[in-house]
Structure 1
């Protein structure tokens, strides 16, 4: 049976972005940290880090943030960048500010460019991140594409052929599935994540993507009614949907 890990309170809370160890020690001394409704006055105390800790510990009267290993689903708005450091609006801006100081850091699972909206996953679980983006996993991503010009009817066969070579690359794309919605709108399912892949695929056919929205990753879709900029933490069951 695996032994339950333990951690000093100050070290744990510092890694979760609540402040420096000195700041957390001050919080403890003034009674702002409690476990099972009992104040933890000594921030150097070691406690078991159990999966239910977030439900048992409070910081300043609020429940402890999720422990490491969380996965966030965000409906990414347009004009937001998947970055920690670039100028302008960043996807991390919609999350609690202290989450930027977490260690391990929260990173996006793949990227959506600034002019692409829709389903974006973020996590502090490096192993999960690499499993999702690994070409060996063939995790499908579905995009709704609105085009500048009508489809000519040849795109589906080309994308499914596994022979389309993007400009500047020396390896053809894996087969992708095109579902026509209307003369200038389609759903495209890809299993790779190359740079600006969907836009470049349609550029190779002489067309231009006017609007791009990711609707699905694996078996996981955006929840009904989730507005741009809204996010939610995923349960283990929902995380498993990614690989369906």
Structure 2
């Protein structure tokens, strides 16, 4: 791929912008030699304004989503994309969230520009578990774990029972829930169905991938090991 198209597709600017950057000597190799539009240089050896280029298509990143942000590119108010570099919105292929967290849910949120990878993560065949920590309005009754794990629980307005879900009590009104599917507002609706109300909800793990100390509002790129850990069905205690 020509240098201009490569850098433009990474979101650094229009092709005209990149042509100007090359002309001004802002695009170099790691030795500081200015590159030309037809310079045959490996992606990892290209610097833009003295910084390495963002990863090529196939990028996957993990964000620790704060409360109050919407998983959208078009809604009003604060968007999860506001927490990422502006150029990430301009990437081609587009950078998309892998699933969603609602505005009032925090925690682990994945992004990728690899459609095949995205569909692998969300496919029911992959059975990637998601782990949530929940704070409730009232103490639990003690029957919730059995109901959630039964495989017979029905949500209002639906005709298919939920897959068995694991509930671990970590306090009178706090629990950890592990899901193997992702229906609309599922955790909130499950507790509503047993007469309780979720006041705080955070996703802390996707497959074997944890936040690993990632601060709220921060993000990190995943290497091949990180990507593979998503499909590790063992969830941490």
What TM-score range do you get, normalising by the shorter chain? over 0.9
Question: 1:168 and 2:163 equivalent?
Answer: no
Which secondary structure does the structure 2 equivalent of 1:39 belong to?
coil
Question: Which residue matches 2:127?
Answer: 138
Question: 1:22 and 2:16 equivalent?
Answer: yes
Could you list the per-position Cα deviations for residues 85-125 of structure 1 after superposition, in whole angstroms to 9, with x for gaps in the alignment?
Answer: 11111111111111110011111111000000111111111
Shift of 1:22: 1.4
Shift of 1:208: 0.4
Which secondary structure does the structure 1 equivalent of 2:12 belong to?
coil
**Structure 2 unaligned residues grouped into runs of 5+:** 233-237
Could you list the per-position Cα deviations for residues 45-100 of structure 1 after superposition, in whole angstroms to 9, with x for gaps in the alignment?
Answer: 1636x5xx23x111111111111111111110000011111111111111111111
**Structure 1 unaligned residues grouped into runs of 5+:** 1-6
Question: Which residue matches 1:235?
Answer: 223
Whole-angstrom distance in 2 between the partners of 1:112 and 1:20: 31
Question: 1:190 and 2:179 equivalent?
Answer: yes
Question: Which residue matches 1:216?
Answer: 205
Which secondary structure does the structure 1 equivalent of 2:100 belong to?
coil
Whole-angstrom distance in 2 between the partners of 1:170 and 1:145: 25
List structure 1 runs of 4+ shifted beyond 3 angstroms. Answer: none
Whole-angstrom distance in 1 between the partners of 2:98 and 2:39: 33
Question: Which residue matches 1:204?
Answer: 193
Whole-angstrom distance in 2 between the partners of 1:46 and 1:82: 38
Whole-angstrom distance in 1 between the partners of 2:196 and 2:151: 19
Shift of 1:183: 1.1
Which secondary structure does the structure 2 equivalent of 1:25 belong to?
helix
RMSD: 1.2
TM-score using structure 1 length: 0.92
Could you list the per-position Cα deviations for residues 149-169 of structure 1 after superposition, in whole angstroms to 9, with x for gaps in the alignment?
Answer: 111111111110111111111
Shift of 1:213: 0.6
Whole-angstrom distance in 2 between the partners of 1:139 and 1:29: 47
Shift of 1:34: 1.3
Whole-angstrom distance in 2 between the partners of 1:139 and 1:64: 31
Which secondary structure does the structure 1 equivalent of 2:40 belong to?
strand
Which secondary structure does the structure 2 equivalent of 1:206 belong to?
coil
Whole-angstrom distance in 1 between the partners of 2:168 and 2:8: 48
Question: Which residue matches 1:3?
Answer: none
Which secondary structure does the structure 1 equivalent of 2:81 belong to?
helix
Whole-angstrom distance in 1 between the partners of 2:143 and 2:16: 64
